[in-house]
Every structure is written in C-alpha cells, then in structure tokens.
Structure 1
Amino acid sequence: MLSRLSRPKAVALCALPVAALLATAAFAPLPFSVAQPGMTGNVLGTNKGAPVITISGAPTRTTKGELRMTTIVATGPDVRVFLGDVIDGWFRTDRAVMPRDAVYPSGNTLKEIEQHNTEQMKQSQDAATRAALNYLDLSDKNVKVTMKLADVGGPSAGLLFTLGIIDKLQGDGHGGDLTGGRTIAGTGTIDASGRVGAVGGVSLKTQAAHRDGATVFLVPKAECSDAKAELPKGMRLIPVTTLKSAVDALVALEKGKDSVPSC
C-alpha cells in the first residue's frame, strides 16, 4: 500500500513543477514584439535635406504650419522578448505588447520585412497622389508628384501625404493654409477614391505627435477608442472616414466653426 503524504509535503511536491514552469516561462523567448512611439515627419517640410513632397506641372503655394505623419517602433523579429519585457510593457503607457505576427506579417527576415514595407510605402504614395488629384479635379498627366521620406515604411502615412499635396496645391481653397498654421498630426491609410483606413498603434502615435508639438490628431474613426486610451493632455482628436471629411474638419477648425467632429 502507498502511504498517504502529509499535506505540507504534498503541497511542496506540487509546487515544484509549477516553479519549474514559471522559471521556464521567465527565460524562454515569447512570440511578441514591444512597440513604442516612433518618429514623426512633417510632410510639408524636408527630410534629410530634400523636400518630402515635390510637385511639378501646377502652381504650388508656400505653406505654414505642419502636417506630421506618425510612426511606431517595434522590436525586430530577430529580437527575443521575454516574460519580464511583456510584464514591463503591460504596465507602461508608452509601450504596447503585440503579437509578433501582427507586427511582422510579411516575412521572417529583416530583408523580407523591409522590402514589404518599402513596397507598401510606394503603393501608399501612389494612392495618395491619385486621391489628392482626384479631389482637386486635376490630371496626373499634367501634374507630377514625387515623395521622399527616408527610413519609413508601410501604408499608414497615406492620409497625411494626401493632405500635404492638397495643402501645397490649394490650401483650404480660400487662400489659407489647410493647417491654419497649427502643427497637426495623424495617421490612416488612403485609397485612390479617398477612403481612410485603420492602421493600429494609434495610442502610441498620439504620444509621438504630442512629443513633437502637435495639438490636433486625425485618426481613423474606427480607432477612436484606441486613440483615447492614452491620449496626451491637450491633444484634440478628430475622427475621419474619408479625405473629404478630413479636409472639411481642418477647414472648420481653421475657421473656428463648431462643426469640427470629435471622438
């Protein structure tokens, strides 16, 4: 017959495998990436000494204010993330823990990821050009737009590129700046018809925008709740669904109207 163990001994024996599992979890790499606020770039300005947006074939105007695209920075696919990193990121407002596949769905190597992000950026810039020229009823046969923004990939700057083109060509349509002289930031994809799409990481992007002087942030309407989660004090959120809604909101903001939407 087996002798019955005393309760303290039984608890001790059960605790051993639990402790072993916890120790393994603490030192085993996990399939996550840790993200934080990244750089922002003024699409109306210059990047590494060259204009971000260059337009030929149509008159352009001198702009004031800033339109800042925003980014996040995440640990690379080859960087090991451990339980301590996850716990630390969970309790910090300037960090976000994301499944690695959600951050890097396009490949396993840095080269594959960089190539994918570069392709997405090019597609985003092409869509931004078409959306802006369609909005202004201009032909891409006459007006040529080139964009250069080093060290940034992906499609999330599409909306800001589009607004930058419009501001350089027309402004608010009444002789004023689309920005109203403010520093305005935002994020969102764009397609040729002017529809704005969600991007992710917006709570970190609002922090990056605040750090770099923005007071207004354009956010895809579907991501309003995420943007409000860690919203910096003094930052005004404007939800957008289309290019027209973004332009209308900025014009209303510049004119001091009460029709500016909010999250």
Structure 2
Amino acid sequence: MAALSALIVMPNIPGTDVHFLVPYAIEAPGPTFNTLGSVEGKEVVEIEGAPTDPTNGKLNMTTVAVSSGITLPQAIAEGLWSSNTMVPIEQIFPQDVSPEEQREVNSADFAASEASATAAAMHYLDRPLAVEVAQVVPDGPAADQLEQGDVILAIDNQQVSSPKQVKEAVADQKPGQKLALKVKRKDQEQTIDVTLGSHPNNDAAFLGIVMAQVPADGMKVTYNLKDIGGPSAGLIFSLAVVDKLDPADITGGAFVAGTGTINEEGKVGPIGGIRHKIEASKDAGAEVFLAPKGNCAEIDAKTSEGIEVAAVGSLEEAIDALSAHQRGEAMPTCG
C-alpha cells in the first residue's frame, strides 16, 4: 500500500454551506521545495558538526495539495474539467480521527521520515550511527530512568547502534527481567538498570521508549520545512544530506525532483498522489523525476511526457540513476 503523500492541507473552500457539502476532498499538485536551498533565511537541510561541500542544481521534494469542504457543483466541475483527483474524505481524515488529530499524525510521519532520511544517508556514506531516545512512554518501565536525548551505547555489555538491535535485546527477555543499559547523557556515560514491563498489547517484554537512529559523531541534521505532513519526502531529504556531505556532485547541476518514503537502510517505498507530484515538477521546470518503483503502475506515457522519470528502489539506485543522467546514459524507467 502506498504511503500517504507529503501533504499541504488547504483550508475549506470559502463560501460553502456545510449542508451542501459532499464527502470528498480534492487532491491537486502542491508546491515543490528545493532541499538544497533556503526557506525563511534557513537552509532547508541544515547540517551542523561536520564539513559540507558546495552543491549544484536542485533537489526538489514534492507535495500534494488537499482541499476539503467541497459542494456538489464543485465536485461535478472537478470531474468534468479538471485533472485533479476526487478522493473520499475518509482517506484524508479517517472518520474516527479529527482533522486536528490527523494533522498531528501527518506531522509525526514527516518527522519520522526526516530521521529515516538522515540514517539512510549515514548508511550510504558509511558514517557511524547511534541509537537515541526520541520519546519515553509516560508511566512506562523506563519513565523514571531514561530521558529524551539519551544515547544508548550498549545493552548488557553488548554494543548497539540501531533501534533494531535494542528491540531484539528486549525481545529476548521476559517482563520483570532487568536490562543494564549503558547510555550517554549530556556527554556523561552511565549504566542504568531498567526492569522490563509487559507490552500493553501482548505479553512481550516492554521497555517503553521510542527510538531514532542518529549520527554517532555529534553531527546534527535539521530539516527546516513546516506545515507539511506525511512520510514521502524521505528520499529527497536523504539525497540532500548525501549531496552536502559527499564531495561528489549528485545532481550535476540538473533540476531534479522526486518523492518516496525511505527507511533507515535506504529502501524506497511507494507514495500517494504520484501523478500530481510529477505534474507539479514539470510545472516547476524539473528535468528529472525520481519515482519509487512501487508507483510504476500509475505512471503512463502521458504522465511522464516532458520529463525524464527514473524508477528507483533504494537511495543507492537513485544516486546511480542521477550519475547515469550526468553521463548521458539511460536511467532505469518503469517501462
């Protein structure tokens, strides 16, 4: 299933009467943002604690604009004369979730995509990674012992560098058993014993933290885009981090746009609204669009007309595709 797109949620269309609204929303091409550029005086992708290299070209993340509050005449007009997409409103705002709660979910997804983008870039560049406590579950087993920002260095004297290793160490235990966690807190190392609890949904051991994989060398990556939700900016964010840290010129001066979720290992996943994102990229002047392989079924010749679309399944494949473009060679496509 495709992940929710990076979204720009528009206000309800003005001048509408709630009694004449239809249960649909309109998806349309949204704005694109150059992740190698600046916004409100700050770099979109800001790197501290490590030397960076000059970049060329553009790496634009893409969005889908969503409007709700649609009347029946507007819906009919959209169906007859517009290339926008009408989708059931529950696809954007599930019935059991308020719009405000859904925005919070979208924002959390966007933040998670930022963390995964950083980790994927570090993996590609072969830079060290560490496990950071992103959140401590209130009233959970670790609530009084671990703090947000703690870096977990080892568990029971076994070094860890990924959330997966921590989860595996916890899964090997039973509720009530203790784990010795070696953590780094404000530049001070200490060992903390945590008694595991029971997971709220099953009988498995439960530590009660949310983790993120971060650079282990003190480098910090900050993403300075606001009011955007969803996880689909991951690929382009990761490319921007690599471009800034790697002396190689990823874009070759080209205007590149794209989309795709990314996990910590650099695997690229499909997203929603691919046609609108390609359309927005063409309107912005992009030469190349990086699309997840999982979206190929939605990309036909008409959609890709006027722009080169490369189908990629990983961060490495995306970088290889752009390298091929620089050399004048064919990139992998959906055909």
**For each residue in 1:86-116, what CA deviation from the matched residue of structure 2 results, as whole angstroms up to 9, or x when unmatched?**
3322344531111212223486433212211
**For each residue in 1:11-65, what CA deviation from the matched residue of structure 2 results, as whole angstroms up to 9, or x when unmatched?**
xxxxxxxxxxxxxxxx853321111111100011111221011112322111010
Q: TM-score, normalised by structure 1?
A: 0.81
Closer, same or farther: CA 45–117 of 1 in aligned 2, 3 Å: same
Say whether residues 1:32 and 2:24 are aligned partners.
yes
Aligned residues: percent identity? 38
Closer, same or farther: CA 107–58 of 1 in aligned 2, 3 Å: farther
Show structure 1 runs of 5+ residues with no match.
1-26
AA matched with 2:281: A
**1:56-135 equivalence runs, <5 A:** 56-76=48-68, 79=69, 81-92=70-81, 94-105=83-94, 108-135=97-124
Distance 1:105 1:156 in 2: 19
Relative to its length, the structure with more strand (as a share) is 2
Say whether residues 1:238 and 2:310 are aligned partners.
yes
AA matched with 1:58: A
AA matched with 2:292: P
AA matched with 1:109: S
Q: TM-score, normalised by structure 2?
A: 0.64
Structure ID, larger Rg: 1
Closer, same or farther: CA 56–227 of 1 in aligned 2, 3 Å: same
Say whether residues 1:180 and 2:252 are aligned partners.
yes
Distance 2:247 2:302 in 1: 31
- Indicate if the aligned counterparts of 1:106 and 1:116 stay in contact, CA closer than 8 A: no
How far did 1:257 drift? 2.3
- Indicate if the aligned counterparts of 1:131 and 1:193 stay in contact, CA closer than 8 A: yes
Closer, same or farther: CA 141–201 of 1 in aligned 2, 3 Å: same
How far did 1:200 drift? 0.8
How far did 1:171 drift? 4.9
Equivalent position of 1:136 in the other structure: 125
> How many correspondences in the alignment?
229
Distance 1:257 1:200 in 2: 29
Instruction: Determine which structure has greater relative contact order: mean sequence separation of CA pairs < 8 Å that are 6+ residues apart, divided by chain length.
Output: 2
Relative to its length, the structure with more helix (as a share) is 1
How far did 1:132 drift? 0.4
Distance 1:242 1:191 in 2: 9
Which is worse superposed, 82-91 or 117-126? 82-91
Show structure 2 runs of 5+ residues with no match.
1-18, 129-214
Please list every run of at least 4 consecutive aligned residues from structure 1 whose deviation after the TM superposition is greater than 6 angstroms: none
